[in-house]
Amino acid sequence: MDRRTFLNAGIGAVALGSAGYARQTQEDSRIEVILDEPGAIIAPEIYGHFVEHLGGVVYDGIWVGENSTIANIGGLRKSLIDALKRVKPGMIRWPGGCFADQYDWRDGVGPRDKRPRRTNFWVDDGAWPANANRKGPQSYDPNAFGTAEFVHFCEQTGAQPYFAANLRSLPAEELYRWLEYCNSPAGTTTWSDVRSADGHPEPINVKYWGVGNESWGCGGEFDPEDYASELRRYSAWMPKYGVDLRVIGSGPNDNEYSWTRRCFSKLARDGHVHGIWGWAAHHYAWNTTGKSKAEWNSGKGDALHFDAEQYYSILRSADETEAIIEGHWEVMAEHDPQHHVKLVVDEWGAWYAAGTEPFAEALLGQQNTMRDAVVAGLTLDIFNRHAEKVGMASVAQLVNCLQSLFLAHEDKFCLTPTYHVFDMYVAHQGGQSIRTMVSAPHVSYSWNGVPASLRGLSSSASLKGKTLTLTVTNPLIDTVRETEIVLRGGKIQAVSGQMLSASDVHAHNSFESPNAVEPKRLLNARSRFTLPAASVTQLEIALG
Ligand code: AHR
């Protein structure tokens, strides 16, 4: 279809809301979808989640207990299971995070009433709200939620389990024993008998095993060469039980390319580069320029109250994910030119200052606005565009912590704008990534007096048979964008979709007002769109 036919095709009248800022309209953007340049399949595991024993994630968030008056399935919060199932979680990573390198898996198996209580890794964190009960399960873990309960949660939601094994404070033998508990055939080992008594007679066949977490920091403060040696020692002779084990090494923070380079050089010297399947990178978005721990904590912005500069600085930080993926991929190629090892972005999301926790024990809990929906749209688009590089990813964290999909406390529950973005992106899972070319002027703004810029529009596309899914994020805080969509190598037959936007970019859902931000369906949409400021759109295009 040429440009004239497109323009004649009319306007899909879908302008919704404003962002609480002066409105302008810009008519200078265009998205070309290059159908004859297909890329890799988008792994469902890119749409993964992260569950750590941190604040209100596990206790109250997921685990309410079998005797609770809150609707539950074997102690797991039912409303959360129902909603999570809908967004088809490809994978769930557990039990941490920093918690993982202090966790003894044996504490969380066997009869629940006999399990030990242990001090949680996060007990001394500086971000606890002053009125939090510091003696509850968030500080002293009763271990009611252990391996069998987590696996039950994965089964209920259809996710693959991804375990983060303790490297800092347990020997390699414990990793083998945990594997034995999970994967050894029924009736063959003492641990398989314990598993059976825990409700899983058949092997769980856990495939994804991380060795340590942030091993450059809370995971042991290793230097890269020492970590690479440990990674090899822990993973070289793991018992397989017929499972295609996928070992994930603890990769870099942000753009710390030297961690990747030095670890891969050491793994290459030891002939173990292909002993791993994935390389975990973490990247959080925050709007502090400070690098020291103190500046980092004091400089973080508020989740609910922000101006345009703070808005853009978070988006810009999230958008750096693309350069980080490309940068580490290039470095990994120095010792893995065929790219057998995939990137696993197993912690991503926006991280704000304390103060908007859904309840006092939800350490690192924060509210989630339309800004976070835009962060999610930008980030998931990046993963889709780099489907050949990103094997898995998980947003931090599932519930009540950082950029959550859910807020849950006692009998109160709500979905966040980030949840709705995951819901809108479901159709990308398992699709073939298709190249898009976006033409839109960059956004210019200043951050702490320094000029900065951000892409003016983001998109990604995937194809399943004759159905094209196109997602588009307009990051402009105050500007509605008129956009034309042009297909190269195909014709549009029909377009439908959904759009997430709000009259104010600070809009969010809460226990009192759970439906303040919700997507709206686009009916009889066309190829020319009005994208509201700070919005995320999903289009399903039937090809002729
Ligand atoms: O997600 C919170 C923490 O952030 C994780 O425990 C850790 O891995 C990261 O630093």
- Report mean pLDDT in 10-residue bins for the chain, 544 residues: 31 32 67 94 98 98 98 98 98 98 98 98 96 97 98 98 98 98 98 98 98 98 98 97 98 97 98 98 84 63 94 95 98 98 98 96 98 98 98 98 98 98 98 97 89 96 98 95 93 94 97 98 81 96 94
Place of tokens 């095709």: 9
44-429 is classed in which CATH architecture? Alpha-Beta Barrel (3.20)
Question: DSSP of 163-220, one letter per residue?
Answer: EEE--SSS-HHHHHHHHHHHHSPTTTSHHHHHHHHTT--S-----EEEE-SSTTTTTT
Collapse the DSSP code of 295 into the 3-class scheme (helix H, G, I; strand E, B; otherwise coil) and give the result: helix
Return the pLDDT at 450: 87
CATH number of 3-14+24-41+433-543: 2.60.40.1180
Return the pLDDT at 290: 55
Q: Are strands 390-395 and 48-50 parallel, antiparallel or unpaired?
A: parallel
Query: Is the CB–ligand 1 distance for residue 180 below 6 Å?
Result: no
Return the pLDDT at 16: 28
Ligand 1 atom with least separation from CA of 99: 6
Return the pLDDT at 287: 80
Closest C-alpha to 363, from 202, 37, 129: 129
Return the pLDDT at 295: 60
Return the pLDDT at 527: 75
Spacing, Cα 98 to ligand 1 middle (Å): 6
Query: Is the CB–ligand 1 distance for residue 214 below 6 Å?
Result: yes
The domain spans of the chain are: 3-14+24-41+433-543, 44-429
Query: Is residue 236 within 8 Å of residue 228, measured between CB atoms?
Result: no
Return the pLDDT at 523: 76
Collapse the DSSP code of 413 into the 3-class scheme (helix H, G, I; strand E, B; otherwise coil) and give the result: strand
Query: Is the CB–ligand 1 distance for residue 52 below 6 Å?
Result: yes
Q: Which residue among 98, 166, 221, 348 has the greatest number of ligand 1 atoms within 8 angstroms of its CB, and so is best to mutate?
A: 98
Query: Is residue 209 within 8 Å of residue 176, measured between CB atoms?
Result: no
Burial (Cβ within 10 Å: 0-12, 13-18, ≥19) of residue 444: exposed
C-alpha distances out from residue 543 to 1, 322, 464, 529, Å: 12, 29, 11, 18
Place of tokens 């685990």: 63
Please, which residues have CB within 8 angstroms of residue 440's CB and are 6 or more apart in sequence?
28, 29, 30, 455, 456, 457, 481, 483
Q: Which residue among 99, 347, 399 has the greatest number of ligand 1 atoms within 8 angstroms of its CB, and so is best to mutate?
A: 347
Query: Is the CB–ligand 1 distance for residue 98 below 6 Å?
Result: yes
> Is 230 labeled as catalytic in the residue annotation?
no
Query: Is the CB–ligand 1 distance for residue 349 below 6 Å?
Result: no
Which residue's CA is the closest to the ligand 1 atom numbered 8? 97
Return the pLDDT at 17: 32
Query: Is the CB–ligand 1 distance for residue 120 below 6 Å?
Result: no
Ligand 1 atom with least separation from CA of 50: 1
Distance (Å, whole) CA 392 – CA 389: 9
Return the pLDDT at 19: 40
What is this structure's pTM? Answer: 0.94
